[in-house]
Amino acid sequence: MPALLPGVRCYADASLTPDHALPPPRTAGLGVFLVNTQVQPVQTINIRAIMSGAHSVIMAEAAALVLAATVNDLLNFNSTTFLSECKQLVHFLNATDQDHPPDWRMKSFTQLFTNCAARRQAKIYKINRNLNTTAMPWLDKPYLSQILLPHLLSLCALTVIIVIGALSWMH
């Protein structure tokens, strides 16, 4: 089904280090895969990021969506279809009342996503896990905890690097 969607589609996903490895907050891996079918040849952008300070899975999933929406906004993609496997997050973001998030610590992420999505007339849908393998096939928990954990980067600094790289790619 996602391959049939017209325009720009964006898959977002997140993965946390195992519960027993570190107490919250933990490190999360974020994955974003943008597909722009509005041009030929089709353009794709694959983003891998690390976030420190994730208190819950839904918070990490929201951070992945904010990263995706920020890049989408800076690239001036309109009417993007965002796809996430996090049913609870998608349900919350599609609700008319966003005053009571499932985890209050993710409120800033959900607000940022909502602002970017509204500005770009974007939509968000729930996707099955087996259809979302393109966002983060490289990130499994052993890889995150053994290889990426020693090399933590802040989400904000990494977002700046990714956006600069993405903008230079467009020129």
Q: What is the mean pLDDT of residues 88-114?
A: 92
Sequence-separated contacts (24+) of 112-118 with Cβ below 8 Å: 112/66, 112/69, 112/70, 113/62, 113/65, 113/66, 113/69, 116/66, 116/69, 116/70, 116/72, 116/73, 117/69, 117/82, 117/93
Q: What is the mean pLDDT of residues 6-10?
A: 89
Share the mean pLDDT of the chain: 78
| Per-residue model confidence (pLDDT) at position 22 | 60
Q: What is the mean pLDDT of residues 135-142?
A: 45
Predicted structure pTM score? 0.76
> What is the rounded CA–CA span in Å between residue 9 and residue 126?
13
Q: In this predicted model, what pLDDT tens digit does every residue of 52-77 receive, in sequence order?
A: 888 889 999 999 999 999 999 999 99
- Running DSSP on this structure, what letter comes out for residue 119? H
Residue 36, domain extent: 2-170
Q: How many domains does the chain have?
A: 1
| Per-residue model confidence (pLDDT) at position 35 | 92
| Per-residue model confidence (pLDDT) at position 126 | 93
Q: Does residue 171 register a pLDDT over 50?
A: no
Question: 71: domain CATH number?
Answer: 3.30.420.10
What does each C-alpha distance from 34 to 56, 103, 104, 135, 147 come to in angstroms? 24, 27, 28, 9, 25
- Give 87 or 23, the one with higher predicted confidence: 87
